[in-house]
Amino acid sequence: MKIIEGFEKAKSLFTRQGGLGVKVDEEREKTVRQIIDRVRREGDKALYDYSEKFDGIKLSALEVSKEAIERAYRETNKELLSSMELAAERIKAYHQMQRKKLVKDSTSGRLGWVMRPQNRIGIYIPGSATPLPSSLLVTVVPARVAGVKEIFLSTPPQKDGRISPVKLAAAKIAGVDRIFAVSGAQAIAALAYGTETIPAVDKIYGPGNIYVTLAKKMVYGTVGIDGLYGPSEVIIITDETANPAFIAADLLAQVEHLSMASSMLITTSRKIADAINGEVAKQVKTLPRSEVIEDAIEKHGWITIVDTVEEGIELSNLYAPEHLCLVVKNAESYVNKVQNAGALFIGEDALEALVDYGAGPSHVLPTEGTARFGSGLNILDFVKLISVVKTNKKDIKQLGKAVATIARAEGLESHARAVEKRLEGAGQEGM
């Protein structure tokens, strides 16, 4: 990994330009727009045609049968099933705690609010070769806890036209209502606008490739979306107390996803920097995806040496990483200094891999600097807040004249008169 010494030298490297950049050319945007338009016009026919064109699969049906889901669950390795069930329970418990603390109605006063869950949502989980059951669990389980009424899953089929049995088993554990074997931008279009088989949803969740991301961007407004996601990234801040073997393993785990992922170390110790660099070089040789990892490290892996932990956190706040790990003495004492991060891991034993596979919080997190204004997927993403107004004659008397004055300043005479009619009535009643 490349080593940069000094806070000032590193500052420009950690300063992002423009937030999330969906870096595409006009040709890709044109392709996605054509896919969306065709799905809107032709419905299921377009989905069958695109499956054959893009995936090389001639589907006999778009929806996965209940029998196929039950069979997949029965035939899934028992140890894997129990592991996914344990993860689902941890995720459920975490989001139940979130719901208890965050999702509360307030209607006792004259002004308040009520929370209502989404009615029907669509979740897209990528991967035909790799099933990604963890992504499914950390998205669907919170939705269920929030009280979403209907949850649909769309996901790419394998080359034999079937959905991975592991993914189907995870969907059953999480509580998915209907599953569709549709991939890519066409899946997003179907969920947004509906077809003969796939009903339109209110909001779409989940990551995907550039075509999926562009499609989500284009259908936003017709439906809600959870966010736009880029390559995975981590910043680990250490001091001289860090275990080099552990930190190297965590850095390598992050870039195992794909070669566009980023792993960054910030440390106050040159000795630790060299030791971790050596461990990275040693450990990568033993990993099955070493080629992908080495490519990612070459492009997006670096070590920065700073004077203090505070300088490291300042650099991290500039970058706003998806994952931030504080592996320093008295790590909790630095938490209040962290302003921008998708998820914060405190201490050597708070490793990101645990959250990826079921510690409790969702691993669907803001990337590419969007942690400056966005949050990881949470219980509030699945509910709506409706304002409740029960103002009375006293409020009209207190506010009416001011409201009418502001309304007239905006040139909205009807608004002003609507209030003044109430004021006239209040005067007649002797208020």
Mean pLDDT of 197-204: 98
Give the mean pLDDT of the chain.
94
What is the rounded CA–CA span in Å between residue 341 and residue 327? 15
Percent of the chain with pLDDT over 70: 96
> In the predicted model, is pLDDT for residue 375 greater than 70?
yes
Give the pLDDT confidence of 56-89 residue by residue, as tens digits: 999 999 999 999 999 999 999 999 999 999 999 9
pLDDT value at position 20?
46
Q: In DSSP terms, which residues pair with 385 in a beta bridge?
A: 115
What is the rounded CA–CA span in Å between residue 89 and residue 103? 20
> In the predicted model, is pLDDT for residue 129 greater than 70?
no
pLDDT value at position 110?
93
Give the pLDDT confidence of 162-191 residue by residue, as tens digits: 999 999 999 999 999 999 999 999 999 999
The residues, any chain, with a CB within 8 Å of residue 67's CB and separated by 6 or more, are none
What is the rounded CA–CA span in Å between residue 401 and residue 13? 54
Q: How many CB atoms lie within 10 A of CB 399?
A: 14
Mean pLDDT of 410-428: 88
Q: Whose CA is closest to 189, among 212, 167, 207?
A: 212
Task: Indicate which residues carry an active-site annotation.
Answer: 322-323
What is the rounded CA–CA span in Å between residue 52 and residue 42? 15
What are the start-end ranges of the E strands in 253-407? 262-267, 301-305, 323-327, 343-346, 383-389
> In the predicted model, is pLDDT for residue 128 greater than 90?
no
For the chain, which domains are there? 2-20+230-359 (3.40.50.1980), 26-225 (3.40.50.1980), 391-428 (no CATH)
pLDDT value at position 51?
96
> In the predicted model, is pLDDT for residue 267 greater than 90?
yes
Contact 263, 251 (CB under 8 A): yes
pLDDT value at position 12?
87
pLDDT value at position 426?
62
pLDDT value at position 208?
92
> In the predicted model, is pLDDT for residue 21 greater than 50?
no
The band of 25, judged by pLDDT with boundaries at 50, 70 and 90, is confident
Q: Whose CA is closest to 91, among 137, 123, 131?
A: 137
CA 212 to chain centre: 14
Give the pLDDT confidence of 331-361 residue by residue, as tens digits: 999 999 999 999 999 999 999 999 999 999 9
Give the pLDDT confidence of 238-265 residue by residue, as tens digits: 999 999 999 999 999 999 988 889 999 9
pLDDT value at position 266?
98
Query: If you count them, how many residues does the chain have?
Result: 431
Give the pLDDT confidence of 35-58 residue by residue, as tens digits: 999 999 999 999 999 999 999 999
Mean pLDDT of 397-401: 95
pLDDT value at position 428?
53
Can you read off the two tokens belonging to residue 408? 């007239």
* Distance set, CA 13 to CA 158, 277, 304, 308 (Å): 40, 19, 10, 18
The residues, any chain, with a CB within 8 Å of residue 364's CB and separated by 6 or more, are 135, 138, 139, 205, 206, 207, 226, 227, 229, 376, 377
Q: How many CB atoms lie within 10 A of CB 17?
A: 6
pLDDT value at position 16?
77
